[in-house]
Amino acid sequence: MTTALPRSGEEKLTLAEICKDLKIARSTFYDWRAKGRAPRCIKLPNGDIRVRRSVYEHWLDNREDRT
């Protein structure tokens, strides 16, 4: 019998979900990532990328125009 790992309750978003939400191309996200402008990512062993929802929301909050 396999025991499941405890869940932290922290949802991970796929790159497709983030690109859809921001209405950007995948290449734009990779460009931002290369320039250090994308949210902090988790790179899985298969090369897929995930972003914690809390990190994504914090990243969006920091981009609000406060003028």
DSSP 52-65: EHHHHHHHHHTT--
| pTM > 0.85 | no
Q: What pLDDT score does 66 carry?
A: 78
Distances (CA, A) of 19 to 12, 29, 63: 14, 7, 16
Q: Are the beta carbons of 40 and 51 closer than 8 angstroms?
A: yes
- For residue range 19-59, what is the model confidence (pLDDT) as tens digits? 999 999 999 999 999 999 999 999 999 999 999 999 999 99
Q: What is the pLDDT of residue 21?
A: 96
